[in-house]
Chains A and B, each alone.
Chain A
Amino acid sequence: MARPKAAHHEPSIPEEQLEFSNVTDLRQNLLPAIERIEKNPALRFLILKHGRPQAVLMSAETYDLVKKLMNQLVSAQASMPRAAAVEGAFRRLRDERGTRANPAPSANEERVSQQIELMTTMLFDIKKQLRARKVAKAESGD
């Protein structure tokens, strides 16, 4: 039976879990979940199959936002010289030293947290660049 339940690992994120074990379960619970997302666009459902996360259900607007962010990240990475990209990969690998002694879940959580930190820093930089570009444009227009 599908059962929505609050995710307890990150209470600040409006994320719930939707567990299903067969297609009928999914069909019965999908429409109510979509209706709830329509009322609260920040809500998303982590869809579990036999207890394992398989997919995420989110509002189309939220997905558009994620797409924009990810595409900005990808553009920023694409413009990076290869040598800098290689050096960055080595730095991230070296930064993981000490995490492998505690295998799988905790090491993985640490890695995800580092990745989120990196993405946040990059997004902040992109935002700064965009703001600077906007100011420069406005000044040249004067």
Chain B
Amino acid sequence: MIVDLSFDFWVEIQFRWTGRFPPALIDEIGRQKVEIYKSLKPDPDHEGMLSGSRVINVGKRRFDVLFASDNYQIDHATDTHPLRVMIIDELH
């Protein structure tokens, strides 16, 4: 199974423009992406979507990351499953 990681527009702005999150967070999410995808549950409010959140540590900083995946966007031919980073909140 291949997990195709992507970022919501606003998360991308926070990474690429404001620099609010450390680049190491992307690496860490990338390392955990298969495990994260497997832990997602059907989202009761969004038909066809899976979702779940996870706390990810980067050094001393902690981030609560909301993930989602759209079942309609699974590429069955290549067994590629999308995983979207929806929102990131830093925990203090």
* A contact set with B: CB distance below 8 Å: 70, 73-74, 77, 82, 85-86, 88-90, 92-94, 96-97, 100-101, 103, 115, 118
Contact = CB atoms under 8 A, between A and B. Distances in A.
B42 interface: no
Interface stretch (B24-32, B54-62, B64-72): B64-72
A94 B84 CA distance: 11
B86 interface: yes
Interface residues of B, number: 20
A115 B13 CA distance: 11
Contact of B68 (A88, A89, A118): A89
Interface in B1-25: 8-11, 13, 17-18
Given A74-B18, A85-B87, A100-B73, A92 B68 contact: no
A89 B70 CA distance: 12
Rank and list the top 10 A-B pairs by shortest CB-CB distance, nearest first.
A89-B86, A100-B73, A89-B8, A97-B72, A115-B9, A90-B46, A70-B17, A93-B84, A93-B70, A77-B10
Contacts of A90: 46, 49, 68, 86
30 contacts: A70-B13, A70-B17, A73-B13, A82-B89, A85-B10, A85-B87, A86-B66, A86-B87, A88-B10, A89-B8, A89-B87, A90-B86, A92-B8, A92-B9, A93-B49, A93-B68, A93-B70, A93-B84, A93-B86, A94-B46, A94-B49, A96-B73, A97-B72, A97-B73, A100-B73, A100-B75, A100-B82, A103-B75, A115-B9, A118-B9
